[in-house]
């Protein structure tokens, strides 16, 4: 086209976001929106949403670089709660490492770790009640672990063996436990969010006192389900927490592919009129405080809160992934918000309620617990060595099987 036919504008060009650094380059965190610990005011729980519009553009933090808990969001937790939280994070990491190795040894087909993100599930497990329903993604194993769900049952599921509570139906780590407030995980991203809103609406409809909490990754916020959930949550003022775990990556895609070049994930709640917090996800105390604030709002019939937890996926996406192919190798180590376990440990040592020796014993204890559970689970069998009866293949398709399923079961000869 000649320039004369163009109405006085430069030629259009297509923008495709690219991360600041790739493998072999030094990480660059200069674009991150951060804030000093203690810098963000804590509005009253009853504050109207329209007075909270600055919160998505900053970062709620409590732990500073010296291990001190500072500012209005400090939840002032007692030593027992802190110790339990730290131990849950250590146990989660130890469990992850062991099961990752188990997959490498061919004991199962697949595994996903939550390394670097442990504070989110482990702190939230303590704020939510067990009667509340959690609608997790595959990276919230810390919820189960922090609540004392038997490690051996998690392993039975991972090994898809005869003792698997969900009968070998799902991919490893797609746990389900109604009794522990843990909704059955779907492999399809995002679907759990509108369901959590519906569960919360049911609680409100029933005049109950339960709330719901759902988690979604930064990448999956692009799904329509995310926006459907925010619409319902806002319209019906559902008592639900909608948590975005922004770990900067969605497999090989950086958060810019999910829109993070132009806004924050928390800010997506603004257009829906939802109070929206942006929180340091590697800060156990900040996670705890923000969750408690949002849960209190929900329990007071004030509706939903969107929370973006800002963190970093230190591990590979899954056992099928190799991040060295798409991001600088030392990004996790240099992540400006540090490691959640190290940060809580430093705080507890600063408070004089923890020591290096205590930490070592806690790690040792976690190793022992995981080892004992693995011994027990492997005695039942790993993937392929042990499995539920073939008859169960045809169960639970419907409450009552129809003639086709009965016939197909006969054809299989079981």
Partner 1 sequence: MNMIQALNSALDVMLERDPKVLIFGQDVGYFGGVFRVTDGLQARHGLTRCFDAPITEGGIVGAAIGMGAYGLRPVVEIQFADYIYPAYDQIVSEAAKLRYRSAGQFTAPLTVRSPYGGGIFGGQTHSQSPESLFTHIAGLKVVIPSNPHDAKGLLIAAIEDDDPVIFLEPKRIYNGPFEGWRDRPVSSWAGHPQAEVPEGYYAIPLGQAAIARGGEAVTVLAYGTMVHVALAAAAHCGIDAEVIDLRTLVPLDIETITESVRKTGRCVIVHEAPLTSGFGAELSALVQERCFYHLEAPIVRVTGWDTPYPHALEWDYFPGPERVAEALRHALSGEAV
**Residues contributing to the site for partner 1 (CB under 8 A):** 14, 16, 18, 22, 109-110, 160-161, 164, 167-172, 174, 186-190, 219-220, 222-225, 250-253, 257-259, 320-321, 325-326, 383, 387-388, 390, 392-394, 397, 404-405, 408, 412, 414
To the nearest 10 degrees (0 to 180), the angle between helices 284-299 and 79-104 is 110
Q: Report, in Å, the least distance between residue 111 CB and partner 1.
A: 12
φ, ψ for residue 310 (rounded to 5)?
Answer: -90, 115
Contact of residue 171 among partner 1, Mg ion, ligand TPP, none (CB under 5-8 Å per partner type):
partner 1
Tell me which of 96, 117, 218, 339 binds Mg ion, using CB under 5 A.
Answer: 218
CA distance 189 to 318: 15
Closer to partner 1 by CB, 146 or 250: give it.
Answer: 250
CA distance 166 to 176: 7
User: Distance from CA of residue 118 to its chain's centroid?
Assistant: 8
Residue 273's region, left for phi above 0, alpha for psi from -120 to 50, else beta, is: left
Q: Report, in Å, the least distance between residue 220 CB and partner 1.
A: 5
Q: Report, in Å, the least distance between residue 411 CB and partner 1.
A: 8
Q: Report, in Å, the least distance between residue 246 CB and Mg ion.
A: 7
Residue 194 lies near ligand TPP (rule: CB under 6 A): no
CA distance 339 to 332: 9
Residue 90 lies near ligand TPP (rule: CB under 6 A): no
Q: Report, in Å, the least distance between residue 265 CB and partner 1.
A: 12
Half-sphere exposure of 162 toward its Cβ, with a 13 Å CA cutoff?
Answer: 10
Residue 247 lies near Mg ion (rule: CB under 5 A): yes
Q: What is the dihedral of CA 241, 134, 231, 289, to 10 degrees?
A: 10
Q: Report, in Å, the least distance between residue 112 CB and ligand TPP.
A: 8
Looking only at Cα atoms, what is the longest distance across the chain? 79
Partners of 241 in beta bridges: 213, 305
Residue 313 lies near ligand TPP (rule: CB under 6 A): yes
Closer to Mg ion by CB, 138 or 272: give it.
Answer: 138
Q: What share of the chain is helix, strand, coil (3-state, %, to 5)?
A: 45, 10, 50
φ, ψ for residue 362 (rounded to 5)?
Answer: -65, -40
Closer to partner 1 by CB, 320 or 342: give it.
Answer: 320
Residue 239 lies near ligand TPP (rule: CB under 6 A): no
Only segment of 91-99, 128-136, 152-160, 186-194 that touches ligand TPP (CB under 6 A): 186-194
CA distance 153 to 70: 39
Residues that bind Mg ion (rule: CB under 5 A) add up to a total of 5
Residue 317 lies near ligand TPP (rule: CB under 6 A): yes
Only segment of 6-14, 37-45, 247-255, 265-273 that touches ligand TPP (CB under 6 A): 247-255
Tokens 């009965």, residue located: 406
Residue 219 lies near ligand TPP (rule: CB under 6 A): yes
Contact of residue 192 among partner 1, Mg ion, ligand TPP, none (CB under 5-8 Å per partner type):
none
Residue 218 lies near ligand TPP (rule: CB under 6 A): yes
CA distance 93 to 131: 26
Answer for the pair 150, 374: CB distance below 8 angstroms, yes or no. no
User: Distance from CA of residue 137 to its chain's centroid?
Assistant: 6
Residue 229 lies near ligand TPP (rule: CB under 6 A): no
Residues that bind ligand TPP (rule: CB under 6 A) add up to a total of 16
Helix H or strand E segment including 278: strand 276-280
Only segment of 14-22, 243-251, 317-325, 342-350 that touches Mg ion (CB under 5 A): 243-251
Nearest-CA neighbor of 120 among 157, 88, 152?
A: 88
Residue 187 lies near ligand TPP (rule: CB under 6 A): yes
Q: Report, in Å, the least distance between residue 164 CB and partner 1.
A: 7
Q: Which stretches of the chain bind ligand TPP, using CB under 6 A? A: 137, 139, 187-189, 217-220, 245, 247, 249-251, 313, 317
């Amino acid at each position: 086209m000649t320039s004369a036919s163009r109405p006085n504008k430069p030629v259009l060009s297509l923008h495709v976001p690219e991360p600041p650094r790739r493998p072999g380059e030094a990480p660059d965190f200069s674009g991150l929106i951060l804030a000093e610990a203690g810098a963000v005011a804590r509005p009253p729980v009853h504050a109207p949403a329209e007075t909270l519009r600055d919160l998505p553009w900053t970062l709620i933090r409590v732990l500073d670089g010296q291990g001190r808990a500072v500012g209005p969001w400090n939840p002032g937790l007692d030593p027992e709660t802190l110790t339990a939280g730290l131990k849950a994070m250590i146990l989660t990491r130890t469990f992850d490492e062991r099961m990752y190795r188990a997959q490498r040894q061919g004991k199962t087909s697949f595994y996903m770790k939550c390394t670097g993100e442990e504070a989110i599930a482990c702190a939230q497990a303590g704020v939510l009640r067990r009667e509340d329903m959690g609608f997790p993604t595959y990276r919230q194993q810390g919820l189960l672990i922090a609540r004392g769900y038997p490690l051996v049952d998690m392993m039975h599921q991972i090994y898809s063996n005869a003792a698997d509570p969900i009968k070998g139906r799902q991919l490893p780590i797609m746990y389900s436990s109604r009794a522990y407030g843990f909704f059955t995980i779907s492999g399809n991203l995002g679907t759990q969010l509108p369901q959590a809103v519906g569960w919360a609406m049911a609680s409100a409809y029933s005049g109950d006192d339960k709330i719901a909490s759902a988690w979604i990754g930064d990448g999956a916020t692009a799904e329509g389900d995310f926006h459907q959930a925010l619409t319902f949550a806002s319209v019906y003022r559902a008592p639900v927490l909608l948590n975005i775990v922004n770990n900067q990556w969605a497999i090989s895609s950086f958060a810019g592919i999910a829109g993070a070049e132009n806004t924050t994930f928390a800010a997506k709640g603004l257009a829906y009129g939802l109070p929206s917090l942006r929180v340091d996800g590697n800060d156990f105390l900040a996670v705890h405080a923000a969750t408690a604030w949002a849960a209190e709002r929900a329990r007071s019939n004030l509706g939903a809160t969107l929370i973006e937890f800002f963190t970093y996926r230190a591990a590979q996406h899954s056992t099928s992934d190799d991040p060295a192919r798409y991001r600088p190798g030392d990004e996790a180590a240099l992540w400006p918000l540090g490691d959640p376990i190290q940060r809580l440990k430093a705080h507890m040592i600063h408070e004089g309620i923890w020591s290096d020796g205590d930490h070592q014993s806690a790690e040792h204890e976690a190793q022992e617990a995981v080892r004992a559970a693995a011994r027990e689970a492997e005695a039942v069998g790993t993937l392929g060595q042990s499995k539920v009866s073939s008859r169960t293949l045809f169960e639970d398709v419907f409450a009552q099987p129809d003639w086709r399923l009965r016939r197909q079961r006969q054809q299989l000869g079981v």
